[in-house]
């Protein structure tokens, strides 16, 4: 756990030091759970968005994109269920005056049981060495089984109480488990209350006539209310999808863990409209498709378990998360939800307009069912960034910090470095920058010894360094250095573009799907 915290602290510090993520309005001491992306962060974020958009929209001839407004008619949120049901159960500590999500307090308690299981596994692995069979140990060790049973029982009761809106029982559970304020250790709790997560604002000039609006808490509803516009103008035939990326806003209570849980964040969502009755088949198909997308980035297939939802949202008949191994453990990265016809039917009811599809194959109209894939762009950023930040000890005993970003996502693809700042080497290096910059984001760096410049680019995540030296002047060759292996090859200058393209081209990464 201490090691995990340590890595997470390094991730946050590195993101700031290298211009990836800054606290918002930092000159005023920041704003809680709001962040700005710096000069490298914005490139990484754009590249992740593009990687998603191309996979979802460009590669699927039955998926199109839209960009709906953040402000929506307020009835949208009544129809979607957000006005009545987009709540978190909150509890205050009377001594510390701190506010917590009651369900998160309980889940963190279960997380401690999971940590105990991991500790037992680590101890046993050490004791038994090569003969250790983890699966058998997990299935038979009495202590592990006891922790597992305790955790399952607690989560089941929590799920039941939340589902039945029995907030008194959630408080009883917190008291029975003797859960204390994580910051002060106090157990002096208030009752559990529901708290709506939407941010309200006003539209209009005068206070009397102003209309109450919400900042959208998800991008999905912009897709539902445009379902017929897109279907008709695009002459789309079911099954088809509408994709969208954009900002969403939630007044999160437990807004910690850096960009994992923010108050203003970006989602990449796709609603796939299907014939009623086919939802199970599409649910399985989209689970597989999305998992392949994640795997294509090569960040370790073992890092993406599925987690089925026990407590389903008001709109879903099946739902799961694709989790990722974040520095603080496995947590939700993406949600896959079978949303039935809840949203379209509800918008029909509240608007009085038909949102149906005429299916020429069966000569009938129906309200389509929807399969949703929804991933947080910032959360994906954190997954990629935290997984890539590596500290290595080299053969000579020196340390190297390297950001092993998948090269397709790296903000800068190539750094061009003249070995020295004289003898015409900078001119040749600048010419190479000119040649490459039409295809890739390239930087020129001539400051400091070349070894230090390599380290700077390693920490920045730049996959390739091209070095121009005196031999370049004689035979027009350069060295290309690979970030992850630090290997250097001498190649013709004319080969650089093709070689880099092969490695960073989105097409070669998508081939892994
Ligand atoms: N339309 C469905 C929907 O919004 P969700 O599970 O609430 O479902 C989908 O959110 C994804 O959005 C999550 O898997 C997560 O990646 C991201 N997300 C949700 N809340 C977030 C927050 N406060 N900060 C950052 N990302 C968030």
264 in ligand 1 pocket by Cβ < 6 Å? no
Residue with CA nearest ligand 1 atom 27: 376
Q: Residue 500 maps to which CATH number?
A: 3.40.50.800
For residues 171 and 63, membership in a common domain is answered with: no
For residues 235 and 359, membership in a common domain is answered with: yes
261 in ligand 1 pocket by Cβ < 6 Å? yes
CB 233 within 8 A of CB 129: no
Q: What's the CA-to-centroid distance between 211 and ligand 1, angstroms?
A: 27
Q: Is 295 part of a structural domain of the chain?
A: yes
ω into 131 cis (within 30 of 0): no
266 in ligand 1 pocket by Cβ < 6 Å? no
In testing the pocket of ligand 1, which one of 335, 339, 340 has its CB within 8 Å of the most ligand atoms?
335
218 in ligand 1 pocket by Cβ < 6 Å? yes
Q: Is 317 part of a structural domain of the chain?
A: yes
Q: Is 397 part of a structural domain of the chain?
A: no
Q: Is 63 part of a structural domain of the chain?
A: yes
Residue 103: helix, strand or coil by DSSP?
helix
CB 353 within 8 A of CB 343: no
For residues 134 and 269, membership in a common domain is answered with: no
In testing the pocket of ligand 1, which one of 376, 380, 382, 383 has its CB within 8 Å of the most ligand atoms?
376
Q: What's the CA-to-centroid distance between 295 and ligand 1, angstroms?
A: 20
Residue 513: helix, strand or coil by DSSP?
coil
For residues 314 and 353, membership in a common domain is answered with: yes
323 in ligand 1 pocket by Cβ < 6 Å? no
Q: What's the CA-to-centroid distance between 267 and ligand 1, angstroms?
A: 7
Closest atom of ligand 1 to CA, residue 263? 23
**pLDDT, one tens digit for every residue, the chain (513 residues):** 667 789 999 999 999 999 999 999 999 999 989 999 999 999 999 999 999 999 999 999 999 999 999 999 999 999 999 999 899 899 999 999 999 999 999 999 999 999 999 999 999 999 999 999 999 999 999 999 999 999 999 999 998 998 888 999 999 999 999 999 999 999 999 999 999 999 999 998 777 778 889 999 999 999 999 999 999 999 999 999 999 999 999 999 876 799 999 999 999 999 999 999 999 999 999 999 999 999 999 999 999 999 998 778 778 899 999 999 999 999 999 999 999 999 999 999 999 999 999 999 999 999 999 999 999 999 999 999 999 999 999 999 999 999 999 999 999 999 999 999 999 999 999 999 999 999 999 999 999 999 999 999 999 999 999 999 999 999 999 999 999 999 999 999 999 999 999 999 999 999 888
Closest atom of ligand 1 to CA, residue 252? 23
- Alpha-carbon distance of 501 to 506, in angstroms, equals 9
Q: What's the CA-to-centroid distance between 217 and ligand 1, angstroms?
A: 9
**The last residue of a domain, from among 168, 196, 224:** 196
Q: How many domains does the chain have?
A: 3
Residue with CA nearest ligand 1 atom 7: 218
CB 260 within 8 A of CB 36: no
For residues 497 and 466, membership in a common domain is answered with: yes
In testing the pocket of ligand 1, which one of 332, 338, 370, 380 has its CB within 8 Å of the most ligand atoms?
332
Note if the pTM is more than 0.85: yes
Residue with CA nearest ligand 1 atom 2: 374
Q: What's the CA-to-centroid distance between 342 and ligand 1, angstroms?
A: 19
* Region label for 489, one of left (φ > 0), alpha (ψ between -120 and 50) or beta (otherwise): beta
For residues 100 and 143, membership in a common domain is answered with: yes
Residue with CA nearest ligand 1 atom 19: 376
Radius of gyration of the chain (CA): 26
Q: Is 354 part of a structural domain of the chain?
A: yes
Q: What separation in angstroms does the CA of 367 have from each of 136, 317, 354?
A: 48, 16, 9
- For 93, list phi and psi in degrees, rounded to 5: -95, 125
For residues 285 and 434, membership in a common domain is answered with: no
Q: What separation in angstroms does the CA of 135 have from each of 132, 149, 329, 417?
A: 9, 17, 20, 50
**The last residue of a domain, from among 389, 423, 451:** 389
Q: What's the CA-to-centroid distance between 252 and ligand 1, angstroms?
A: 11
Cα–Cα–Cα angle for 460, 28, 95, rounded to 5 degrees: 105
104 in ligand 1 pocket by Cβ < 6 Å? no
Q: What's the CA-to-centroid distance between 492 and ligand 1, angstroms?
A: 47
82 in ligand 1 pocket by Cβ < 6 Å? no
For residues 91 and 60, membership in a common domain is answered with: no
Q: What's the CA-to-centroid distance between 311 and ligand 1, angstroms?
A: 16
Range list of β-strands (E), 63-192: 63-65, 87-92, 99-101
- Alpha-carbon distance of 372 to 286, in angstroms, equals 9
CB 453 within 8 A of CB 447: yes
What DSSP state is assigned to residue 354? -
Q: Is 395 part of a structural domain of the chain?
A: no
376 in ligand 1 pocket by Cβ < 6 Å? yes
CA-nearest of 378, 419, 401, 506 to 460 is 401
| Element at 468 (helix H, strand E) | strand 464-468
Total residue count of the chain as it appears in this document: 513
335 in ligand 1 pocket by Cβ < 6 Å? yes
267 in ligand 1 pocket by Cβ < 6 Å? yes
250 in ligand 1 pocket by Cβ < 6 Å? yes
Q: Count CB neighbours of 163 within 10 A.
A: 11
The pairing of beta strand 63-65 with beta strand 240-249: parallel
334 in ligand 1 pocket by Cβ < 6 Å? yes
Structural domain that includes position 324: 1-71+215-389
């Amino acid at each position: 756990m201490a090691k995990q915290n340590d890595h997470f602290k390094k991730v946050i510090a590195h993101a700031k030091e290298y211009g990836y993520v800054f606290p918002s309005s930092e000159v005023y001491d920041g704003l809680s759970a709001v962040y700005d992306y710096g000069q490298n962060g914005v490139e990484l974020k754009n590249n992740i968005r593009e990687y998603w958009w191309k996979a979802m929209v460009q590669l699927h001839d039955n998926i199109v994109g839209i960009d709906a407004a953040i402000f929506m008619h307020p009835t949208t949120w009544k129809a979607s269920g957000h006005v009545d049901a987009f709540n978190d159960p909150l509890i205050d500590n009377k001594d510390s005056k701190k506010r917590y999500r009651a369900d998160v307090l309980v889940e963190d308690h279960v997380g401690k049981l999971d940590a105990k299981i991991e500790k037992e596994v680590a101890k046993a692995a050490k004791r038994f060495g090569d003969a250790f069979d983890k699966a058998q140990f997990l299935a038979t060790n009495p202590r592990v089984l006891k922790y597992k049973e305790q955790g399952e029982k607690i989560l089941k009761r929590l799920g039941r109480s939340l589902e039945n809106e029995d907030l008194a029982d959630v408080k009883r559970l917190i008291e029975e488990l003797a859960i204390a304020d994580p910051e002060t250790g106090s157990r002096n709790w208030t009752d559990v209350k529901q708290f709506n997560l939407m941010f309200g604002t006003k539209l209009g000039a005068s206070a009397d006539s102003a209309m109450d609006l919400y900042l959208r808490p998800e991008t999905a509803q912009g897709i539902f209310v445009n379902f017929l516009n897109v279907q008709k103008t695009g002459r789309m035939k079911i099954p088809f999808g509408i994709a969208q990326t954009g900002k969403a806003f939630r007044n999160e209570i437990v807004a910690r863990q850096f960009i994992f849980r923010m108050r203003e964040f970006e989602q990449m969502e796709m609603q796939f409209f299907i014939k009623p009755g086919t939802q199970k088949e599409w649910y399985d198909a989209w689970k597989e498709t999305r998992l392949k997308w994640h795997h294509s980035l090569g960040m370790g297939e073992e890092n993406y378990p599925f987690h089925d939802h026990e407590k389903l949202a008001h709109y879903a008949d099946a739902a799961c998360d694709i989790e990722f191994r974040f520095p603080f453990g496995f947590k939700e990265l993406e949600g896959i939800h079978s949303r039935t016809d809840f949203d379209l039917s509800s918008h029909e009811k509240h608007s009085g307009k038909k949102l149906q599809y005429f299916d020429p194959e069966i000569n009938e109209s129906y309200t389509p069912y929807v399969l949703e894939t929804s991933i947080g762009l910032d959360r994906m950023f954190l997954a990629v960034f935290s997984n890539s930040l590596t500290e290595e000890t080299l053969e000579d005993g020196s340390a190297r910090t390297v950001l092993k970003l998948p090269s397709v996502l790296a903000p800068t693809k190539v750094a061009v470095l003249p070995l020295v700042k004289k003898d015409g080497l900078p001119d040749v290096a600048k010419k190479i920058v000119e040649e490459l910059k039409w295809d890739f984001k390239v930087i020129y760096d001539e400051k400091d010894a070349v070894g230090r410049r390599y380290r700077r680019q390693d920490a920045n995540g730049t996959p390739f360094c091209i070095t121009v030296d005196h031999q370049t002047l004689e035979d027009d060759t350069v060295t290309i250095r690979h970030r992850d292996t630090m290997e250097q090859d001498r190649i013709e200058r004319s080969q650089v573009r093709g070689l880099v393209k092969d490695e960073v081209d989105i097409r070669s990464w998508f081939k892994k799907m």
